[in-house]
Amino acid sequence: MARVVVDVMLKPEILDPQGQAVQRALPRLGFEGIADVRQGKRFELEVEGPVDAAALRRIHELAETFLANTVIEDFTVRVEEPAVSEEAPA
C-alpha cells in the first residue's frame, strides 16, 4: 500500500480571506514575521498495488475531476516517501 498525496490550493491570484484573517491575527497573538498565510486542502489516498506512471495519471485525472476545481484551484500529486520523516521539530 502506498500513499499518494493530492494538495489543492486556491490559485495565487484568488484571494483567500480566511488565510488573511489568520495572518493579520498573528502579530497580536505573538507571532511576528509571517507575511502570508493560505489555507488549502490535503487529500491522502491509500493506493493498492504499485504506484506506477499509469496509476499516477489516473489519480491526476481523479484530482482534476473530483478533488479540485481547476478554474479556481491548483493541485499537485505526489507519492509520499515512507522514509521521509514528517515530524515537527522537538
**Binding-site ranges for its own copies (CB under 8 A):** 1, 7-9, 14-22, 24-26, 28-29, 31, 33-49, 53, 55-60, 62-63, 65-69, 71-72, 75-78, 86-89
* Residue showing cell 484551484: 73
Closest CB 3 distance from its own copies, rounded Å: 9
**C-alpha to C-alpha distance for 19 and 9, rounded to whole angstroms:** 12
Closest CB 59 distance from its own copies, rounded Å: 8
Closest CB 8 distance from its own copies, rounded Å: 8
Q: Give the burial class of 59: count Cβ atoms within 10 A of its Cβ; 0-12 exposed, 13-18 middle, 19 or more buried.
A: buried
